[in-house]
Amino acid sequence: MNFLSMDYFVTLAQERNFTRAAEKLHITQQTLSAHIAALEKEAGSPFFVRHAPLELTYAGRVFLRYAQDFRKSVRSLQQELNDIALEEKGELRIGTAPVRERALFPELITRFLKKHPHIRFVLTEATNQVLQEKLLNGEIDIAVASFPKTVPGVELIPYYEEEFVLLVSERLLGQTRSSAQGGSTAERRQPPRSGAQQGDLDIPLRITKDLPAAIKACPFLMNSKHSIAGRIAWNLFRQNGFRPDIRIESDNMETLLELCAAGNGAMICSEMLARKALTESQLAAMRIIPFAEPVRYTIFLGCRKEPYRWRILDSFIQTALAHNPAAPL
């Protein structure tokens, strides 16, 4: 078995389609088929059930596990040999959420490339959960994301904190203010608790006292329930005892921010990311409403625990830590 065929197999197992895998590998479909057929012949067992989409056989799942580990070892070997030879070259693969990529990476990568101009970057956008899977599978080298307190096999380096707020345009707020007049604020069911842990969904996420009735009258723009913003929003609704008018749902936070700025609804978002993604004129027309008890989440730099860490990856981490993106300008 050669390195190239194993790499082709892993890509096909990820894509589950010969055409897409061949395009990603920049080879013909016939070449890919020949490599896979040779692997299967050598193993004495088929690795795929050939229907759409392709399905891994039991032998294929076993081979994939070893192939992914082997590919990570080969990559570590190449990186360590480059470090020994003092050669600053290679490919650094980083994953984060789309709006966070736009907010962080232009400045961070520019700083890094001034010191390491020959490194090639491959950026991946995905949800926090998908990024964790890609990191453990060896598809990316580092993830900039919110993680659970511990992830087996992953080293978590605290990077910065994001504070979440409620955003709504002044225009929409003016429209809903009149419809909310005469309404009463929902009774608070329990007092806020101090010292609550990150990710504790029982934290009473109360809006500050200035505009609760008007906010309740707003339509809402919702991020995925599995995202940080989505979990905070649904807990807010639950704690305040009301059913929101959900106008738009999307996994793309950047799209939701633009829709919010245009007056289509209120939303929960990281204040730092909102300030990075929206223009000054858009922000001037927005009301940024904090929570009575600040809701903050730590964003980590996550990388796999390995016997040897590439010097370039270490340098990227140090470059990131030298600049806190949440610090005031």
Residues 165 and 278 in one domain: yes
Chain segment 60-71, per-residue pLDDT in tens:
999 998 888 888
Q: Is residue 312 part of a domain?
A: no
Whether residues 172 and 290 fall in one domain: yes
Residues 62 and 168 in one domain: no
pLDDT in tens, 256-285: 999 999 999 999 999 999 999 999 999 999
Q: Is residue 229 part of a domain?
A: yes
Pick the last residue of a domain from 69, 85, 106.
Answer: 69
The answer to whether 155 and 142 are in contact (CB under 8 A) is no
Which amino acid, one-letter code, is at 84? I
Alpha-carbon distance of 233 to 189, in angstroms, equals 17
Q: Specify the higher pLDDT residue, 314 or 328.
A: 314
Taking only the tens place, the pLDDT of each residue in 146-189 is 998 888 899 999 999 999 999 999 999 888 876 656 544 333 33
Count how many domains the chain has.
2
238-249 average pLDDT score: 87
158 preceded by a cis bond (ω within 30 of 0): no
Q: What is the predicted pLDDT for the residue at 313? A: 93
- CATH code of the domain in which 41 resides: 1.10.10.10
Q: What is the pLDDT of residue 79?
A: 73
122 compared with 211, residue with greater pLDDT: 122
Burial letters 58-80, b for 16+ CB under 10 A, else e: eebeebbeebbebbbeebbeebe
Query: Is residue 125 situated within a structural domain?
Result: no
Domain boundary among 39, 69, 99: 69
- 45 within some domain: yes
Q: 207, 239 in Cβ contact below 8 A?
A: no
In a domain, 35, yes or no: yes
Q: Domain end: 69, 94, 118, which one?
A: 69
Residue 137 within any structural domain of the chain: no
List the domain range (segments joined by +) for residue 19.
1-69
What CATH number is given to the structural domain containing 268?
Answer: 3.40.190.10
235 within some domain: yes
Residue percentage of the chain with pLDDT more than 70? 87
Mean pLDDT confidence for 5-19: 91
**Backbone angles phi and psi of 245, in degrees to 5:** -90, 95
